[in-house]
Amino acid sequence: MADMIEIRGLNKYFGDLHVLKNINLTVKAGEKVVVIGPSGSGKSTLIRCVDWLEEPTTGEIIIDGQLVTKKNHLEMARKYSSMVFQQFNLYPNMTVLGNLTLAPIKLQKKSKEEANAAAMAALKRVGLAQKAGEYPQNLSGGQQQRVAIARAMCTKQPIILFDEPTSALDPEMIQEVLDVMIELAQENITMICVTHEMNFAKQVADRVLFMDDGQILEEGTPEHFFTNPQNPRCKDFLNKILH
Amino acid sequence: MLEGLFDPRRWEITMAEMGSLWEGFGFTLQVVVAGLLLSLVLGTILGVFSTTRSRVLGIISRIYVEFFQNTPLPVQVFFYYMAGPRVLQMITGAESPVRISAFAIGALGVGLYHAAYVSEVIRTGIESVPRGQMEAALSQGFTRVQSYAYIILPQTFKVILPPLCNQALNLVKNTSVLALIAGGDLMYNADNFVSTYGYLQGYIMACVLYFIICFPLAMLVQWLERRSKRRPRAKNIPGITPEPAKEA
């Protein structure tokens, strides 16, 4: 498989704070990568750098063989990646359908009919076709996040980045969102998912990364990762979170 | 002292002599429209300035707002009235000070003054939109300008409309400052009316006429406030949403 995302020597500072320390990571096309780690470890910043929501201080992000730069990052985002946020970030002044069709119509220049059809197909997949005319604030958190995932599907980019997609949800709504993500993982989409949902990681991930203090300290297949972790901090973290 | 208030003859005369008051009313309305236009355009520009990432634009906006909010409007208007003609003389190189019409001074006076307040309304409106909205837009590949146009600014309307209308209302009342410089506005004409026909009827009628403009605006503010608090109802999209009766 070809490399979809290549991160080389990535450093990110917030002022004096060194958040990402010389990260090197390659993700193949279609690969599902789950990133775990304590809060403040830099995992969100890492995927935000991939989408250029944070500009890398030094280092390179290469997507599909092309270097992402200050100049082309919007074009790259348009073409390659979409993001699902912890707080959903649906556009509250638009209906569910409007949320899903805005970018396809305005950026990808699709016709309204075409965009609507694609949006309805995506909504059916997340089980919310009947909510097309509803406004986000009238939906539950779980429903909003499913809409946000459908919005990411609509633009048909090969990469979807998930930034703690279930962390803001009530416990009973987490599974419905995970189910949608698991179903989506059947496709040949490259997924990087920052999450604390270990069962999701076991079920879906091709590779799990453990981050702490701005570094990737451990990586491997879920089997290796959950049964035989080597790094002491990773062992410690898994102990805390699994028991 | 107040017996004149119920004197039917006085009211008869008042009603017969309302012409000058209506004239002032018309003039005030013109100043309101021009001043409002100026304050909205300038205020929006300054408000957007203060939320961009540019420090220079932010500082320009800040200085403007603080200056106009912290000096009295009558002083500002007197200043335009006295200094304006000489400044224009300097700029144009005319031989004598350039006369500025009361209309121009009025529109400029309330326009510049309220632009500072409008700017603050626009700024708080934009700042009320969560950061995540811009991030969602950028992550989809919208440029900053597109994000403002399609996503951020439309979300501010609900928040800013009531305070904007409030500014319009204050602007109407503040045009009465023109009376200080012989402006020909409603207040000025009411003053003249009063000196001929007595103060009771004159000022009462002036109040009534200001009320005619302001009260609908106040009602509009209340309606907009109520509307902004309402939850949006699901929209019917023909061919896509289920029939309303089947709503689950």
pLDDT grade, residue B244 (50/70/90)?
A: low
Identify the pLDDT of residue B206: 82
Beta-strand runs (E) in chain A: 3-14, 17-28, 32-36, 58-63, 66-67, 81-84, 159-163, 190-194, 207-212, 215-220
Tell me the two tokens of residue B74: 């009558």
Q: Residues A122, A125, A131, CA angle at the centre, nearest 5°? A: 70
3-state helix, strand, coil in chain A (%, to 5): 40, 25, 35
State how far residue B55 is from chain A, nearest Cα, in angstroms: 18
Check pLDDT > 60 for residue B9.
Answer: yes
**CB distance A89–B136 less than 8 Å?**
yes
pLDDT grade, residue B88 (50/70/90)?
A: confident
> Over the stretch A174-215, which tens digit does the pLDDT of each residue have?
999 999 999 999 989 999 999 988 889 998 999 999 999 999
Identify the pLDDT of residue B145: 87
Check pLDDT > 90 for residue B48.
Answer: no
ipTM of the complex model: 0.91
Amino acid at B150: Y
Chain A: residue nearest B132 by CA? A89
State how far residue A61 is from chain B, nearest Cα, in angstroms: 15
> Over the stretch A16-54, which tens digit does the pLDDT of each residue have?
999 999 999 999 999 999 999 988 899 999 999 999 999
* pTM, full prediction: 0.79
Select, from the ranges B32-41, B88-97, B167-176, B213-222, the one with the highest average predicted confidence (pLDDT).
B32-41
> Over the stretch A62-94, which tens digit does the pLDDT of each residue have?
999 999 998 898 888 888 999 999 999 999 999
Tell me which chain B residues have a C-beta less than 8 angstroms from the C-beta of A155.
140
Give the mean model confidence (pLDDT) for residues B126-135.
92
Neighbours of A28 (CB within 10 A): 15
Tell me which chain B residues have a C-beta less than 8 angstroms from the C-beta of A52.
138
Identify the three-state secondary structure at position A206. coil
Tell me which chain B residues have a C-beta less than 8 angstroms from the C-beta of A87.
130, 132
Ranking B56-70, B179-193, B223-237 by mean pLDDT, the lowest is B179-193
Chain B: residue nearest A148 by CA? B136
Identify the pLDDT of residue B1: 59
Ranking A2-11, B140-149, B234-243 by mean pLDDT, the lowest is B234-243
Select, from the ranges A157-161, B26-30, B166-170, the one with the highest average predicted confidence (pLDDT).
A157-161
Of chain B, the percentage scoring pLDDT greater than 90 comes to 26
